[in-house]
Structure 1
Amino acid sequence: MMKLWSDRVLLCGTAGMILLAGISGARAATGVAPPAMYPAATWQGQSQAVVRVLDRLDAHLELLTIPVGGSATYHGLSVGVEACVSRPQTLAADAGALLHLKDSSDPQRPPFDGWMLAQEPSVATYGSPLYDVRVVSCAGAPTAPQAGPLPVVKAPVLASAEVPVEEGGDAPASQPGSASGGPVPLAPDSHNPIPLAPPSGAAPSLAPAMPAQPSGQPLSPPEADPGLE
């Protein structure tokens, strides 16, 4: 029991020291630089594109790794890749490929030439009743366009640490006891005593005040009023 109590005291003392350190450190706050990230419009070129082809007849999935500038064939579908770009590591993962698709088994259908995005497949689709084509990712060595070096981020310069006055809070009073919200004295001033008022509802006293008697002499009772006998 004593060991458990000592452990609790040690834990509370350590937490108090950490809290005091945090409070004291807040007075000497310094600016912290945000993490360096690429701009949102930055893309990195790569030498290969990974494309997934779905055959709707037998639900077969075929994963094709096609070099940029080359093409691959799945049954009657020809898939050509002109470019493949992906997001850098500091941004949300996404990839896009510039594809050329043509189905030789369906000569009436026009070929597809355009960009397909991995995270937004509904932006551009190949309208074939037989094949569904999706971009999975980019692979291979980095090529143009290059992402370049990360931008240099500087730490912000903070002003002197001062405690702000909250809106609607009590403003500090210039003089005690003033109408601006200063402190009210708890004891009356000895030079200007405050007269005590009789309690509410009490009847005023009708008896005359007793004259002061010299010190050392007994008080004599008041004479009886002859009209009351």
Structure 2
Amino acid sequence: MMKRYVGVALLCGAAEVFLPIAAQAAVGVAPPAMYPAATWQGQSQAVLRVLDRLDGHLELLTVPVGGSATYRSLSVGVEACVTRPQTLATDAGALLHLKDTSDPQRPPFDGWMLAQEPSVATYGSPLYDVRVVSCAGVSTAPQAGPLPVVKAPVLAGAEVPVEEGGDAPASPPGSASGGPVPLAPDSHNPIPLAPSSGAAPSLAPAAPAQSSGQPLPPPQADPGLE
């Protein structure tokens, strides 16, 4: 079975040592676990705020799910109250049944009200204004359930594989096996210039040219040697 390695080059004195180590894939950071956006958790109580428009009085009511409460002439019934889990944006919704006994001509309100979006559903009474504040109590149905399991991603291309028995990486510039080429000649170690022609220069004297058909004159003695 072919193994994959990552090479680590170490400089030990004047020699370069190549040590192969086993390659390992890099593992990223896992995102935090969160519930899906459509997850709601039921609770046993609904916290409501009731405003009397005549005198501006505010009343905070805590009504159990399945029960009812009365504020002056307003009857408030709660059928369900759900809230978002802690890992999602805060919001609460309550299924309410509202009836003003002092105004029998007005039909009762039956529907959902949301804490963060009160304009979606309002109680159209000229006397009372009802808003959902939050849900309280113990957890009931529907259940949010356990958080989903999030796995850390494996980063592709984070390793440098080298096949077993492969060549070691090239020596970096400036190491013992190779050095940088100077851009200018050094005064202490000048670089010799190569001759313009391909042949090497000769230090022996050139042979005299011979003319065709005529003998060479005898050599004359140097007067300084006599």
In the superposition, the TM-score normalised over structure 2's length comes to 0.60
Show CA shifts across 1:89-129 (max 9, x none): 11111100000001010111111100000010011000111
SS of residue in 2 equivalent to 1:73: strand
Give the conservation status (yes or no) of the 8 Å contact 2:26–2:154. Answer: no
Q: Is the 8 A contact 2:46 2:134 kept in 1?
A: yes
- The structure having more radius of gyration, on CA atoms, is 2
The structure with more strand, counted as a fraction of residues: 2
* Structure 2 unaligned spans of 5+: 1-23, 161-181, 186-191, 197-226
Task: Decide whether aligned partners of structure 1 residues 93 and 191 sit closer, same or farther in structure 2, where only a CA change above 3 A counts.
Answer: same
2:114 matched residue in structure 1: 117
CA RMSD of aligned residues (A): 2.4
Mapping of 1:1-229 within 5 angstroms?
Answer: 29-161=26-158, 186=183, 190-191=193-194
User: Which stretches of structure 1, 4 residues or more, deviate above 2 A after TM superposition?
Assistant: 27-30, 160-163, 185-193
Q: Per-residue deviation at 1:160?
A: 3.0
Alignment check: 8 A CA contact 2:35 2:148 kept = yes
**CA displacement at 1:30 relative to structure 2:** 2.6
Structure 1, residues 19-63: CA drift from partner, whole Å, max 9, x if none?
A: xxxxxxxx9843111111100100000010001000011100001
d(CA) in 2 for partners of 1:151, 1:190: 74
Q: Identity across aligned pairs (percent)?
A: 88
Q: What runs of 5+ residues in structure 1 fail to find an aligned partner?
A: 1-26, 164-184, 194-229
- Aligned counterparts of 1:43 and 1:192: Cα–Cα separation in 2: 88
Partner SS for 1:48: strand
Q: Distance in 2 between matches of 1:120 and 1:190?
A: 86
User: Highest relative contact order (Cα 8 Å, sep 6+), 1 or 2?
Assistant: 2
Report the AA paired with residue 108 of structure 1: Q
